[in-house]
Structure 1
Amino acid sequence: MPGPDPDAGQDQERGGLRGALGGLTTRGRSFLAAGLAAALCAYLLGQGDLLRVGLLLALLPLLCAVFLYRTRHRVEGSRQLVPAQVPAGSEARVTLRVDSVSRLPTGLLMLQDRVPYVLGPRPRFLLDRVEPGGRREVSYRVRSDLRGRYPLGPLQLRLTDPFGMCELNRAFSGQSTLTVVPRVERLPPLRPGGEARGFGEGRQHTLALAGEDDLIPRGYRHGDDLRRVHWRSTARLGELMVRREEQPHRAGCTVLLDTRAAGYAGSGPGSAFEWAVSGAASALLHLLEQNVTVRLVTDTGDAVPAEGSPPASGGRSGQTAALLMDLLAVVGHSDGAGLSRAHEVIGESGEALLVAFLGDLDEEQTALAARVRRPGSTAVAFLLDSRVWAGEGGTEALDARARLLREAGWTVVPVPPGVALA
């Protein structure tokens, strides 16, 4: 459980005692004006009793201002955010704590924490006086359906004296950051295999890895070396089967995420792009749980972890998962027009499994995506069509892209709107 994030406690307003006098309320200014007027009249009329009353009225707001000025620097504020990272649509709890280190009790306190509008309205709390050495805690919840990093703070404190003569504001400089990551679905540990003509069939063949020591033959795919044909299984099953044990690929997986703005239409939590980001996050975490070395590549050619980084095994799996989720929390649309950079990056690797989440592709980009798959490797493509998601047309273009990818040995999963990954 993370500890509290203490604010620096340095006052951002440096007006000194003059600033404290500027914090007089309407009541305080009225008392001061009435007291000065009464004192002046008493002096002119020679009325001693009226003079004492006037001085009392004038001194009361001044004493309240001095009292607040001396006590506001002896109030400390802190914030605790649990958890600091949540999936989209989940809540986090923020606890605000106020400690009094003064020898005098405080007056009325009003707390306000600054939060982005997507997390909800600004929380405000009214606290009664805090005794010397006392502590007060209040909490509120924040929630966002949109991915991103959201700053919380600074914490603002308003102090009021018991008579309501003066109000002083204090802002603490410390901030906390809430990271909202994509929703993640738990996936079954199944092996890929065969072709997928629809989402219901394809999701049974997606996200498990065939290791280098797997001796079970699999079906022949376009591009496989004929020298790897397993003739005994071919004769028994009546179709070409190839051996897996000679795959020259590492036991790893690359997840390709297409982020091109031209590949998706719409925005918001239910958009096709958010589905693709959530699907990529689910695939990456699922494979890490299976102790598979993973890498995320986008259409811009960016790769995380970078090529040459130590494999994510043991304790590094948690670090890799945190790194990937932090990246996916803020990933947005790119201005790229194609997948050429991703093709160059993936072509230099030798992972045995490739999982791609692709938006709209023209014929040229579909052919390029087909060549991303290395011969003998397993490749799964989730295709999202913007016209289908917008309900504006049929699936002819989507079917054509799927056919080209299947001919190149891909397992293709067309994704209709509102369908879960698992």
Structure 2
Amino acid sequence: VEAGGRREVSYRVRSDLRGRYPLGPLQLRLTDPFGMCELTRSFSTYDTLTVIPRVEPLAPVRLSGEAKGYGDGRQRSLALAGEDDAIPRGYRYGDDLRRVHWRSTARYGELMVRREEQPQRARCTVLLDTRGIAFQGAGPDSAFEWAVAGAASVLVHMLERGFSVRLLTDTGNAVPGESGDGFAGASQGSADAAGLMMDILAVIDHSEGAGLSRAYDVLRGGNEGLLVAFLGDLDEEQAAVAARMRQRSQGAVAFVLDSDTWAREPGDVPGPLDRSGERLRLLREAGWTALGVPRGASMDELWRHADRERRGVAAASGGEGPR
């Protein structure tokens, strides 16, 4: 570098595994062309590289619990009234007289005004099973990493479609969790909510829990709208717990990553102790749209398959079902 000169250098950093990685601090070593003098300088500043899960674009299928224009998630009375539903209430000092609702005023014998309220947003809960005993293997091609990436894809997709979304794990922790029900409210931007949940998913790891009961306790507290679950190995007891989760949701889709199924190569014959089919049958009988996930499966293809499965069940029961 000439005297008083300036150079800008850069280097590429990448990781095949999600996570949070420190970069720096920077250290420079300067020397003259003859190697007679060497000078080292270190800096204290460092940065952090956050690698989020891979997000796969999903098809805009119509699943139960969706918002106005996509399904039956919003109350029909609100949808029919438009984005601002006119609900009359008593006049208060300072109210705009242009909001007087004359029909209600005549009915109740007192001055009534319209109260604009935003319609309820459709809800979606994404349940991620993080139990260490439910997944085998590690690395970017493992079943657990697929489940994390699948959860991230669904979260981003549903936020983009206007849902109030939250991430729930088997430990019972919900993100976002500041509000009473844990959902991202209407005032919170989709980008902020997505960023918060992507940061959590970037570093999420296996839990030491053995069951799904804590997640069930959270889910049974209210109407969850659409429930999308990514589940690992399920024994008979945990499959029964997962089946009961369906009772509090308008629609439920489960992607089950059974270790035996995940370890098999395409075309392999299931072993005599293969239990994945039995667990899927139990979930379907409880009302879930349940799909097994083979190794290397496309999340978008499974998402479309789930929609076809739901429509087929609805048609078999005598109707097309909610769209």
Length-normalised TM-score, structure 1: 0.55
Corresponding letter in the other structure for 1:364: E
Corresponding residue number in structure 1 for 2:41: 170
Letter aligned with residue 324 of structure 1? M
Distance 1:181 1:376 in 2: 29
Partner of 1:411: 289
Distance in 2 (CA, whole Å) between partners of 1:376 and 1:167 is 68
CA RMSD of aligned residues (A): 2.1
1:237-276 alignment to 2 at 5 Å? 251-276=122-147
The 5-angstrom pairing of residues 16-415 of structure 1 reads 129-132=1-4, 134-161=5-32, 163-192=34-63, 210-213=72-75, 251-306=122-177, 307-308=179-180, 311-313=184-186, 316-375=189-248, 377-391=250-264, 393-394=270-271, 396-415=274-293
- Would the aligned equivalents of 1:360 and 1:385 in 2 still touch at CA under 8 Å? yes
CA distance in structure 2 between the aligned counterparts of 1:310 and 1:293, rounded to whole angstroms: 6
- Stretches of structure 2 lacking an aligned partner (at least 5 in a row): 65-69, 78-119, 301-323
Report the CA distance shift for 1:378/1:310 in structure 2 as closer, same or farther (over 3 A).
closer
Contact 2:126 2:151 in 1 (8 A): yes
The alpha-carbon deviation at position 310 of structure 1 amounts to: 6.9
- Give how far 1:335 is off: 0.8
SS in 1 for 2:140: coil
2:7 partner SS = strand
Aligned to 1:65: none
Deviation readout 1:170-225 (Å, 9 max, x if unpaired): 111111111111111111111126xxxxxxxxxxxxxx76422369xxxxxxxxxx
- Is the 8 Å Cα contact of residues 260 and 274 (structure 2) preserved in structure 1? no
CA distance in 2, matches of 1:405, 1:150: 39
Whether the aligned pair in 2 keeps the contact of 1:312 and 1:320 (CA below 8 Å) is: no
User: How far 1:311 sits from its partner (Å)?
Assistant: 3.4
In 2, the alpha carbon distance for the partners of 1:406 and 1:310 equals 27
Q: CA deviation at 1:163?
A: 4.8
Report the 3-state secondary structure (helix = DSSP H, G, I; strand = E; otherwise coil) of the residue aligned with 1:144: coil
Match for 1:381: what amino acid?
A
* Distance (Å, rounded) in 2 between the aligned partners of 1:209 and 1:152: 46
Q: Which has the higher strand share?
A: 1
Aligned-partner Cα distance in 2 for 1:315–1:336? 32
Residues matched between the structures, number: 246
Kindly state the Cα deviation for residue 165 of structure 1 after the two structures are TM-superposed: 2.4
Report the alpha carbon displacement of residue 304 of structure 1 after superposing the two structures with TM.
0.1
Work out which of the two has the higher radius of gyration on C-alpha atoms and give 1 or 2.
Answer: 1
With CA pairs under 8 Å and 6+ residues apart, which has the higher RCO, 1 or 2? 2
Task: Give the distance between the partners of 1:159 and 1:141, measured in 2 at CA.
Answer: 22
Identity within the alignment, %: 61
Q: Give the counterpart letter for 1:409 in structure 2.
A: G
How far apart are 1:299 and its partner, in Å?
0.6
Ranges of 4+ aligned residues in structure 1 off by more than 4 Å: none
Q: Aligned partners of 1:370, 1:164: CA distance in 2, in Å?
A: 72
> Mind listing any 5+ residue stretches in structure 1 that lack a counterpart?
1-128, 194-207, 216-248
